[in-house]
């Protein structure tokens, strides 16, 4: 709904520009001097550019919200997984992007619940995973 007003202004600006150009072309075709009819053309062009800019800004904000929100939820989910909480699921809003990534995260959680890591202590909603970083050598041979 936030796009309707700028789109209406954009449509009005296009209609005004079209009418003005048609009038100027009609006057020129009759052989009459056009005169100083340029100011309305500049006003119509400015309205068009403002409306088009508003549509671009609003759509950019909406797109950013559709990506930033799911990204935040997925980062929070990864922190919960790293903390050992495997009982939750990632839920995104309708229309959010990154749904495939959220589905894969939920499948990973299902798999981790069915196949806990070696040495993990389960039996509650939290899984205690031993600190593997302390046991690993400084360099891994590939």
Residue 16 lies in a domain: yes
Residue 140 lies in a domain: no
Rounded distance between C-alpha atoms, residue 12 and residue 82, angstroms: 54
Residue 75 lies in a domain: yes
Joined tokens for residue 47: 């309205």
C-alpha atoms less than 13 angstroms from C-alpha of 87 in its C-beta half-sphere: 6
- Higher per-residue pLDDT: 5 or 78: 78
pLDDT in tens, 45-74: 777 788 788 888 888 888 888 888 888 888
pTM of the model: 0.51
**Secondary structure of residue 34 in the 3-state scheme:** coil
Given this model, what pLDDT does residue 140 score? 46
Given this model, what pLDDT does residue 107 score? 92
Residue 12 lies in a domain: yes
How confident is the prediction for the chain on average, in pLDDT? Answer: 75
Which range marks the domain in which residue 70 is found? 4-29+38-114
Residue 124 lies in a domain: no
- Count of structural domains, the chain: 1
- Residue that has been written with the tokens 């070696």 in this structure: 118
pLDDT in tens, 29-49: 777 665 556 676 777 777 778
């Amino acid at each position: 709904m936030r796009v309707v007003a700028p789109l209406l202004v954009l449509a009005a600006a296009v209609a005004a520009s079209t009418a003005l150009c048609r009038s100027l072309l009609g006057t020129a075709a009759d052989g009459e001097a056009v005169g100083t009819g340029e100011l309305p053309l500049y006003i119509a062009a400015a309205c068009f550019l403002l409306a088009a800019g508003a549509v671009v800004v609003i759509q950019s904000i909406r797109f950013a919200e559709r990506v930033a929100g799911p990204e935040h939820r997925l980062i929070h989910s990864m922190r919960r997984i790293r903390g050992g909480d495997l009982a939750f699921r990632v839920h995104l809003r309708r229309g959010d992007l990154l749904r495939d990534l959220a589905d894969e995260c939920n499948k990973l959680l299902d798999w981790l619940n069915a196949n806990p890591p070696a040495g993990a202590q389960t039996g509650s909603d939290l899984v205690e995973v031993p600190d593997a970083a302390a046991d690993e050598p400084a360099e891994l041979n590939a």
